[in-house]
Amino acid sequence: MTSKNGTEPIYKFYINGEWRESSSGEKIVVNSPYLNKPIGSVQAITQTEADEAIRFAHKSQQEWKRVSLQERAKYLYKWADELILMQEEIAEIMMKEVGKGYKDAIKEVARTADLIRYTIEEALHMTNDSLTGDSFPGGAKSKLAIVNRVPLGVVLAISPFNYPVNLAAAKIAPALISGNAVIFKPATQGAISGTKMIEALAKTGLPAGLINLITGRGSVIGDYLVEHNGINMISFTGGTKTGLRLAKKASMVPLVLELGGKDPAIIRSDANLEEAMKHIISGAFSYSGQRCTAIKRVLVMDDIADAFVSRLKTEIEKLSVGSPEQDSVIVPLIDEDSADFVQGLIDDAVDQGATIITGNKREHNLIYPTLVDHVTEDMKLAWEEPFGPVLPIIRISSDDEAIHIANESEFGLQASIFTNDINKAFSIANHLETGSVQINGRTERGPDHFPFLGVKGSGMGVQGVRKSIESMTREKVTVVNLY
């Protein structure tokens, strides 16, 4: 599946059951965010190769949709097993490629195997519906509608860098179990981890053409794929800007978009501050804040703000900073541009009068965990998604103000409320314009069978095991007219 050029491996793409080199002759070098050297390269495929992949996908899907669920399940169970067998190899690559701590990378692979198994079981236990005509006025009892779900055809799965295995499998598994074929386009930084995951799938003997891994820069082949008339559904996870572009380009195909966020944590005066603090530290800083669901702003009541900020400072200064190989919490960001962007947000806030409580130190793309107090609504840091280890504190004086600032955001992924007053928690939750609200817990996607969605600039459609299966199938109604 790989060949060597100099010292670093060259990874092939995978279509119709074959590992191939692109006829473009072009490779994209993948640099490690912390080793500061290339770790391999992937193929920059051509439009003709993309056409070929989509053609093969259609052909194989025609057979696959007829294969029984139990039979499909066997391949996917084997995939989960193969991933676990390759767990350390995949985690090592993931660590090097996207700078995720080794233990977290190991967990990502395990979580993915669990997700695949749960997806299979969910699909096996989904039932069809039936209705008789006579429940509608004038309808006849002799009419029976059988409503079942059928696959959409060829699913285009586009994944982001930060969960290169889990967020890709979260699209591929529901697509395959429900009878679709897949064109998988991983993030370029993340494509090697994605390739390893597909190696595991290829080992199952899955019929050729059902899974096709195509690599290449999204800015070069992305539009072509999205606009391709051979694509029947698109499942995309990535930034809001890319998602918006994609939504404009996609024609009449079902689309699920999981995009960026600016998740607020609202800290009421009656909260258990020790608990809230623990959730905020891990919510905001794990993997250097490179999670869509990271806590990206704290809205804290004035009367407890000084004490809370001081506790946060103490805990932030204990965070390990360094290399993913030592499982540091704070690791170099995915690239220099991302670090420049985060630094720009911090600088803008400081220029406009915010106070640095700790951090604001940088070595190349490693940004030290930074706590910024007295952030106000005229600062970019109050609104923009940093995807880095910086946490703004916005002081508030009422629940209404918290709700207002939370909802002013262009994003609407998740929000947290920390309080001991459960009635207040529900009342605030009811007013928040987000896909999910966490009461007394950090914002996070899992467990993976929960529906997961963003509203406004955070997305469209719903993921989470069952919802993903539903999004990749459609209802088919067969009406029997009994004599």
Residues that bind ligand NAP (CB under 6 A): 158-162, 167, 185-188, 217-219, 222-223, 226, 237-239, 242, 245-246, 258-261, 292, 385, 387, 413, 454, 459
CA distance 458 to 65: 32
Ordered strands of the 8-11 beta sheet: 2-5, 8-11, 38-43, 27-31
> What does 444 bind: ligand NAP, ligand G3H, none (CB cut-off 5 to 8 Å by kind)?
ligand G3H
Q: How far is the CB of 71 from ligand NAP (least distance, A)?
A: 31
Q: Of 180 and 293, which CB lies nearer to ligand G3H in the complex structure?
A: 293
Q: Is 467 in the site for ligand G3H (CB under 6 A)?
A: no
Q: How many helices (H) and strands (E) does the chain have?
A: 14, 26
Q: What does the alpha-carbon distance between residue 111 and residue 2 come to, in Å, rounded to a whole number?
A: 26
Q: What are the tokens at 260?
A: 């960026």
**172 contacts 157 by C-beta, under 8 angstroms:** yes
Q: Residue 78: name its binding partner from ligand G3H, ligand NAP, none (Cβ under 5 to 8 Å by kind).
A: none
Q: Which residue is nearest to ligand G3H (CB)?
A: 292
Do residues 319 and 327 make contact, with C-beta atoms less than 8 angstroms apart? no
Closest CB to ligand G3H among residues 16, 290: 290
Whether 471 contacts 256, CB under 8 Å: yes
**Nearer to ligand G3H among residue 139 and residue 446 (C-beta):** 446
Strand order in the sheet with 436-439: 355-358, 370-373, 390-396, 295-301, 263-267, 414-418, 436-439
Subset of residues 282 to 301 that bind ligand G3H, contact rule: CB under 6 A: 291-293
Which of 170, 349 has the CB closer to ligand G3H?
170
Using the CB atoms, write b or e for 42-72: b if 16+ within 10 Å.
bbbbbeebbebbbbbbeebbeebeeeeeeeb
> 295, 416 in Cβ contact below 8 A?
yes
- By beta-carbon proximity to ligand NAP, the closer residue of 76 and 333 is 333
Q: Is 445 in the site for ligand G3H (CB under 6 A)?
A: yes
Selection from ligand G3H, ligand NAP, none that 99 binds (CB < 5 to 8 A by kind) is none
Stretch 159-198: interaction string toward ligand G3H, x if CB under 6 A: ---xx-----------------------------------
Smallest gap from Cβ 385 to ligand G3H, in A, equals: 11
Residues 191, 11: Cα–Cα separation, whole Å: 9
The minimum distance between CB 117 and ligand G3H, in angstroms, equals 17
What residues contact residue 350 under an 8 Å CB cut-off, 6+ apart?
A: 356, 360, 372
What 3-state class would DSSP assign to 65? coil
Q: Which is nearer to ligand NAP, 188 or 409 (CB)?
A: 188
Residue in the structure block whose two tokens are 């050297």: 37
Is 275 labeled as catalytic in the residue annotation?
no
What is the DSSP secondary structure assignment for residue 185, as one 8-state letter? E
CA distances from 181 to 54, 225, 380 (A): 9, 15, 42
Nearest distance from C-beta of residue 296 to ligand G3H, angstroms: 12
Sign of the CA dihedral running 410, 256, 22, 193: positive
116 binds, options ligand G3H, ligand NAP, none, Cβ within 5 to 8 A by partner type: none
Quote the least distance from Cβ 50 to ligand NAP, whole Å. 12
| SS3 call for 379 | coil
* Given 49, 82, 97, 292, the catalytic residue: 292
Q: How far is the CB of 62 from ligand NAP (least distance, A)?
A: 26
**Distance from chain centroid for Cα 135:** 42
Q: Which of 49, 199, 258, 444 is catalytic?
A: 258
Number of residues that bind ligand G3H (CB under 6 A): 8
Cβ neighbours for 384, distance < 8 A, ≥ 6 positions apart: 262, 345
387's contact among ligand G3H, ligand NAP, none, with CB below 5 to 8 A by partner kind, is ligand NAP
Partner from ligand NAP, ligand G3H, none contacting 174, C-beta within 5 to 8 A by type: none
We find the least distance from the C-beta atom of residue 138 to ligand G3H, in angstroms, to be: 48
Q: Which of 292, 240, 228 is nearest to 263 (CA)?
A: 292
Residue 258 designated active-site: yes
33 binds, among ligand G3H, ligand NAP, none (CB under 5 to 8 A by kind): none
Closer by beta carbon to ligand NAP, 82 or else 97: 97
Comparing CB distances to ligand NAP, the nearer of 112 and 162 is 162
Choose which of 345, 444, 465, 467 interacts with ligand G3H (CB under 6 A). 444
Q: How far is the CB of 283 from ligand G3H (least distance, A)?
A: 9
Active site residues: 258, 292
Binding site for ligand G3H (CB under 6 A): 162-163, 291-293, 444-446
